[in-house]
């Protein structure tokens, strides 16, 4: 890894204590950035702190669905590191795993408050810094925002919203030199995916299913997504904006493998 790729940069990273966010925190910091990790769980923040042992990482307990808390977290980040160059909106929730009509009002509202409104809050309160520093915004979306998913209506709706929002934000802020992109994974082994898999009717078959939906033949860990995120927030992607980048192992090319070569009919 180029340890100077993000030298001198400050990253505000939501949901950075586990899964994709945790791996991003590691690669951003290793590439030279200072990182402020935001999570709504003090326990999760402490666990990340114990596991990272890195210099240049600050931790703030914040619920990104609450405007005042996000504003305070951004002010604290600026107080600690002096500026913000990059905002990575990674925090998200997936529950419930249910159809639209089985989803309660509270579940629906919470999903949109965290997954979509959180982006509104971080952008609103960090925009002055991003304009000043010609910064970058990265959103963590999902392939299911494009193709849908059974028993996950509200969650996929939030991810579809993130894809559209990313493109609109890219147009709105391009004149200020701000790039806005998203990553769209398919399956990735994170604690959230493990929780989802346990809610499925065919939970004993999920691992094989998740391997088989990817053309490359396996469901990856979070590091492969973090590497793509590092590229998008760095100057190596300096002429890329409004992109929703699939990091999917080819899942969108054919969502299930039906036959292996040695099983084909003759």
CB contact at 8 A, 241 and 179: yes
Nearest Cα neighbor of 165 from 228, 116, 232, 121 is 116
Characterize the bridge pairing of strands 34-39 and 10-14.
parallel
Token couple for 263: 């099983």
CA distances from 22 to 121, 134, 264 (A): 21, 25, 41
155 catalytic residue (yes or no)? yes
CB contact at 8 A, 38 and 73: yes
CB contact at 8 A, 160 and 142: no
User: What is the dihedral angle through the alpha carbons of 122, 126, 130, 132, rounded to the nearest 10 degrees?
Assistant: 170
For the four alpha carbons of 101, 104, 105 and 110, in that order, the dihedral sign comes to negative
Of 125, 155, 173, 209, the active-site residue reads 155
Point out the residues that are catalytic.
155
């Amino acid at each position: 890894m180029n340890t100077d790729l993000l030298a001198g940069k400050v990253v505000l990273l939501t949901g950075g204590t586990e899964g994709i966010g945790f791996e991003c925190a590691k690669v951003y910091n290793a590439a030279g950035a200072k990182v402020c990790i935001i999570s709504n769980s003090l326990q999760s923040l402490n666990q990340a702190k114990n596991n990272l042992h890195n210099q240049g990482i600050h931790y703030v307990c914040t619920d990104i669905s609450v405007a005042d808390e996000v504003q305070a977290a951004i002010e604290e980040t600026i107080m600690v590191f002096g500026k913000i160059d990059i905002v990575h909106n990674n925090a998200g929730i997936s529950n419930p795993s249910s159809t639209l009509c089985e989803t309660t009002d509270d579940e629906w509202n919470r999903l949109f408050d965290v997954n979509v409104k959180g982006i509104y809050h971080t952008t609103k309160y960090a925009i002055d810094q991003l304009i000043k520093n010609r910064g970058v915004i990265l959103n963590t979306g999902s392939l299911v925002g494009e193709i849908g998913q059974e028993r996950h209506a509200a969650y996929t709706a939030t991810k579809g919203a993130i894809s559209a929002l990313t493109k609109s934000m890219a147009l709105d802020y391009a004149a200020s030199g701000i790039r806005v992109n998203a990553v769209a994974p398919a399956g990735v082994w994170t604690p959230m995916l493990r929780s989802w898999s346990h809610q499925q009717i065919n939970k004993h078959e999920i691992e094989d299913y998740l391997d088989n939906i990817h053309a490359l033949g396996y469901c990856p860990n979070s590091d492969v997504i973090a590497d793509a995120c590092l590229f998008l927030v760095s100057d190596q992607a300096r002429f890329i904006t409004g992109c929703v980048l699939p990091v999917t192992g080819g899942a969108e090319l054919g969502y299930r493998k039906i036959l292996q070569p040695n099983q084909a009919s003759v």
